[in-house]
Amino acid sequence: MTEPAPHTFADLSLIKRIIPHRYPFLLIDKVRDIVPFESAVGIKNVTCNEPHFQGHFPDEPVMPGVTIVEAMAQTAAIVVGISLNVIDKPLATYFMGIDGVKFRRKVVPGDVLEMHVKVKRGGGKIWKFEGQALVEGQLAAQAEFTAMMDLKA
C-alpha cells in the first residue's frame, strides 16, 4: 500500500483529480479536515441553480435525500483517494450497500451542507463508512454505507 498523500484539504481542483464525477452530479465543493483512513468533512454549498430543483419541487425546492447520501459517498471517496494516494489515477467507486438512512430536516437553497464521514472499515477494496449531513449544526441526514473501490489499470 502506498503512503497517504499529504493532504488535509481538497479544493474542487483536487476533488476532480480523485473522483470522476462532474456537473450535474459532482455534489461536493471542498473537503476539509481529511485524516487518511479515518475521516473528513465534505462541504456542499446548496444553490437554487441546481438541476434537481426544477422538479423537486418547483414551488418549494428541497434537495433530494438520495443526493445528500451521494454527497456523503463522494466525501468518503475523497478520504479513500487521499488514503490510498490515488490522485490522478482512475479510481472507480461503487455503492454496495446503504443502511440506516434517516432524514431529519429539509436541505434547501442557501444551506451549507456539511458531510461528516468516518471510516468504519477500510484499507483494501471494500470500505465501510458512517456519515452525517449537517446544516448549521443540525442533523439533516445520516447513513452507513459500503463501497467497493476499484483502481483501474
Query: Which position among 21, 52, 56, 116 bears the catalytic label?
Result: 56
Query: Per DSSP, what are the bridge partners of residue 138?
Result: 135
Identify whether 56 is a catalytic site residue.
yes
Give the distance between the most distant pair of CA atoms in the chain. Answer: 50
The answer to whether 93 touches 115, Cβ cutoff 8 Å, is: no
Sign of CA dihedral 152, 7, 112, 121: positive
Helix (H, G, I), strand (E, B) or coil at 119: strand
Residue tagged 467497493 (cell numbers)? 148
Catalytic annotation, residues: 56
